[in-house]
Amino acid sequence: MNGLKKFYKFISSMKLALVLLGLLIIGCVIGSVIPQGQIIKLYQQQYGDRTAGLIMALSLDDVFHSWWFVAFTVILCLNLFTCSILRTPALIKRWKSFGDLPDENSISNNVSVESSPHYIGRLSKDPEAFLKSLGFSRQSGTKQSETKQNETKQSYIVGVRHKAGLLGPLITHIGVLLLILGFSLGQMTKVEYTVYGLPGDAKQIGDTDYILQIDDFNIGLRADDTVEQYTSDITVRNAATGAKESASVSVNAPASLFGMKFFQNSTGWAADMHILENGELLQEEAVEAGNYVTVSDKTDLQIGFMAFYPDYHYDREKGPLTLSSKLNNPAYLYIVYFQGSVLGMNTLMEGEELTIDEYTVTFDNPRNYTLIQIKKDSFTYFVLLGGVVLLFGLFLSLYVQPEKIWLKQEGDRYLVFGSGGKSGILFADRVKAKLKGNNYEK
């Protein structure tokens, strides 16, 4: 039994919560810095063999699905849940007894002691009007002042307000719990896809039943010819049902279609590649920079379109570069592979031909393609709910201070006692100002 109590105390401790939060924050940072979902060869190229091995061993290539991230999240949620459960009975008891008359022995002259009832001053007339002037009335949504009798039959008038502030810490805990659950579950279950193409292209979105069609793509330029905005007009179709939804997607202005979020991610150059065999057209394909085309009747021969320079210039120190984004002197950087080995690499100007045995290759019609990133997170609204609950809990905790006041009758006067929670001193000063400013005190 003692072991169970110790475990319960440990699992609900603040120290454990802080340690777990720190570990989860470190995990999130790692997941943001290290590219996720890559093969080990890419990590070896970027970080070296030893670091790449460590990344794979600790599942740092897929942080949000790793066993340790899931375990830390579950334990933290359990910590917050048990902490809330432990505090709930005491909170309910305090809620119910908040308006009760104070114990005479508990009354203090120290107004800085949180939640401790203390003596404030004397009132000589009209106690109900005095309470109302301080906001203790039904008009402000607080408990109606009422007369109670203690054991010595002395008359008290009791006022209570801002009682909801007592719930602030509990609601804050619930908000944090919802946030962590929503974020963690969202990261563990979300799916991401990337689709790129030219206007008119229709491509399947990953392994889903949805087809993304790029209707149009525009690049907005400023007066100085610098890029101001990228905008794609897209239509998404459900291949199973035939349902369609359309939207425009711009940078920082995503669209929601079929429960998925579509982001305008980036753009790049594409061109038409023409492959002729003995002077006869064999293939004609639109190719995005960075992609390859396999010669149809010679599959061990591949031609890659590596980069495009709209305004080509060759610098001896920097190599090939573009002087502007305008199509003043277009050039295409190509690479040729034969049986997996590099056969050649060079720059081909507009109108020039590349000859490889009986094949002739040309490029033309350069234009921009669009890259759309698609995300689906089923727990986004869960996170939003957690954020709203958290903010509401913080508002109650920080700005809604529970206050109570007792007026104890002594002859034709009333002794004024009160408690203002964390703002006890300010509460006492406000009550004293009312006592003096309205001539209630003699």
Residues 6+ apart with CB under 8 A from 300: 338, 339, 340
Give the range of the structural domain holding residue 107, as residue numbers without chain letter: 98-162+401-437
Statement to judge: residues 363 and 286 lie in one domain: yes
Q: Is residue 386 part of a domain?
A: no
Q: Report if residue 390 sits inside a domain.
A: no
Question: Do 340 and 412 belong to one domain?
Answer: no
The predicted pLDDT at position 294 comes to 94
Contact 230, 267 (CB under 8 A): yes
Question: Is residue 84 domain-resident?
Answer: no
Mean pLDDT computed over 147-159: 61
The predicted structure's pLDDT at residue 150: 47
Q: Is 45 inside any structural domain?
A: yes
Q: Of the given ranges (39-53, 248-262, 283-297), which has the lowest mean pLDDT?
A: 39-53
At residue 153, the pLDDT reads 54
DSSP for residue 376:
E
**Average pLDDT over every residue of 361-380:** 91
**Same domain, yes or no: 9 and 38:** yes
- CA triple 90-392-145, angle to 5 deg: 60
- 25 is a domain residue: yes
247 and 286, same domain (yes or no): no
Please check whether residue 15 lies inside any domain of the structure: yes
The model's pLDDT over 222-248, given as tens digits with 9 standing for 90+, comes to 887 778 899 999 999 999 999 999 999
Whether this model's pTM surpasses 0.85: no
Do residues 360 and 285 share a domain? yes
Spell out a b/e string for 244-281, using b for 16 or more CB atoms within 10 Å of the CB, else e.
eeeeebebeebbebbebbbbbbebebbbebbbbbeeee
Which tens digits make up the pLDDT trace of 170-179?
Answer: 898 889 888 8
Asked if residue 31 is part of any domain, the answer here is yes
Nearest to 118 by CA among 437, 429, 440: 429
What pLDDT sits at residue 277? Answer: 93
Domain count along the chain: 4
Q: Residues 89-145: pLDDT tens digits?
A: 888 888 887 777 666 655 655 544 445 667 777 887 778 788 888 888 543 333 344
Q: How many CB atoms lie within 10 A of CB 152?
A: 6
- Which residues share a beta bridge with 266? 371
